Amino acid sequence: MSDLAAWGWDTLFAPFADFAFMRRALVATLALALSAAPLGVFLTLRRMSLLGDALSHAVLPGVAIGFMVSGMSLTAMAVGGVLAGMLVAGMAGLVTRFTALKEDASLAAVYLVALALGVTLISGHGTQLDLLHILFGSALGVDTSGLLLVAGVASVSLVALAAMYRGLVLESFDPVYLAAVASPGQRGWVWQQGFLMLVVINLVAGFQTLGTLMAVGLMMLPAVSARLWHDHLGAQLINASLQAALSGTVGLLLSYHMDTPSGPTIIGCAGALYFASLLFAPGGWLPRWWTTTHRVA
């Protein structure tokens, strides 16, 4: 029995108890799971599942300028990234509001220009290695300032999402009704822009500390799976956060024991949960295949 307990300790807890970098990675991953996954649910509801990818590229010129100004400084690159992301989201919002283009089209156009600018800046002023580091940060390399950034962003983002929940739900569900009833300060574009800003700061926080793949993956994969489990939005949001936290924890442990890169392993775990959801969730394949009876009313 004590063998089993010792094995359990060694497998599940020792990595975190023994190594500070594992503890920091765990806290950063859990914070991101808490704040980014619910945003992902709203992105899928608004049929903008691919927006995370687009925005994570859009922040590149800002990160590059931050890097050029103060070298490998997390603060400078994060500030640059947030400013670039907000600029891109804001410009796309303006284009949507004042021209015939829809949200996705205007965003695609603006982010591609931003990405081109970012690559130009980086290749002109840095080495290939820097670019790789900026694009694929590592969960195991999170230092204290990175941890503070992720925790701070997660806190701000959770409170802000709670504050704009009602407006965002109505703007996603029935924008025409919102436009007809809302007072000028609560019009649709206010919620839409506020939401995009939250997505940007979450992506930048995740992207700087954990890498692009992790940031977008933890935002979207659990969100997509969560939609298969519940009909109610609140339950979907909680489910998404739980799935993200579970994949983060299990992924970190797996990457520790099997010596695999942490980011892809975590996303692999989220992917495994997604395939399990596809099969077993109420909205998935097996329950539909299994259900052969129906009620009388």
Partner 1 sequence: MVTPAAVTLSNLTVSYQRHPALHHISGSFLAGSLSAVVGPNGSGKSTLLKSIARLVPPDKGNGASGQARTLQISVTPRRIGYLAQVAELDKTFPMTVWDCVALGCWTGVGAWGAVTVAMRDGIDGALHGVGLQGFEDRNIGSLSSGQMQRVLFARLLVQDADLILLDEPFSAIDSATSAALLTFILQWHRQGRTVIAVLHDDALVRTHFPDSMLLARELVAWGTTADVLTAANLARARSMAEAWDESAAVCDVNAMAKPLA
Q: Contacting partner 1 (CB under 8 A), which of 167, 248, 263, 268?
A: 167
Least Å from the CB of residue 163 to partner 1: 7
Give the CA radius of gyration of the chain: 20
Compare residues 172 and 209 and give the one whose CB is closer to partner 1. Answer: 172
Binding flag, residue 231, partner 1 (CB under 8 A): yes
Binding flag, residue 174, partner 1 (CB under 8 A): yes
Binding flag, residue 13, partner 1 (CB under 8 A): no
Residue list 44-83, contact with partner 1 (CB under 8 A): 45
Contact 168, 191 (CB under 8 A): yes
Least Å from the CB of residue 20 to partner 1: 41
Least Å from the CB of residue 47 to partner 1: 9
Q: Measure the CA–CA gap between 106 and 29, rounded to whole angstroms.
A: 32
Residue list 254-283, contact with partner 1 (CB under 8 A): none
Binding flag, residue 163, partner 1 (CB under 8 A): yes
Least Å from the CB of residue 180 to partner 1: 4
Residue list 113-142, contact with partner 1 (CB under 8 A): none
Binding flag, residue 232, partner 1 (CB under 8 A): yes
Which uninterrupted H or E stretch holds 89?
helix 74-98
Binding flag, residue 159, partner 1 (CB under 8 A): no
Binding flag, residue 108, partner 1 (CB under 8 A): no
What one-character DSSP code corresponds to residue 185?
A: G
User: DSSP string covering 223-266, please?
Assistant: HHHHHHH-SSHHHHHHHHHHHHHHHHHHHHHHHHHHT--HHHHH
Q: Please, is 89 exposed, middle or buried when counting C-beta atoms within 10 Å of its C-beta (0-12, 13-18, 19+)?
A: buried
Contact 35, 245 (CB under 8 A): no
Compare residues 233 and 278 and give the one whose CB is closer to partner 1. Answer: 233
Contacts of 161 (CB under 8 A, 6+ apart): 35, 38, 39, 168, 198
Angle at CA 192, nearest 5°, toward 239 and 119? 90
Q: How many other C-beta atoms lie within 10 A of the C-beta of residue 180?
A: 8
Contact 240, 273 (CB under 8 A): no
Q: Measure the CA–CA gap between 194 and 39, rounded to whole angstroms.
A: 12
Q: Contacting partner 1 (CB under 8 A), which of 2, 128, 144, 183?
A: 183
The stretch among 79-87, 88-96, 164-172, 198-206 that binds partner 1 (CB under 8 A) is: 164-172
The stretch among 7-15, 18-26, 113-121, 178-186 that binds partner 1 (CB under 8 A) is: 178-186
Least Å from the CB of residue 99 to partner 1: 12
Binding flag, residue 176, partner 1 (CB under 8 A): yes
Q: Contacting partner 1 (CB under 8 A), which of 178, 223, 253, 267?
A: 178
Query: Which residues sit at the interface with partner 1, rule CB under 8 A?
Result: 45, 163-164, 166-167, 169-170, 172-174, 176-183, 186, 227, 230-233, 236
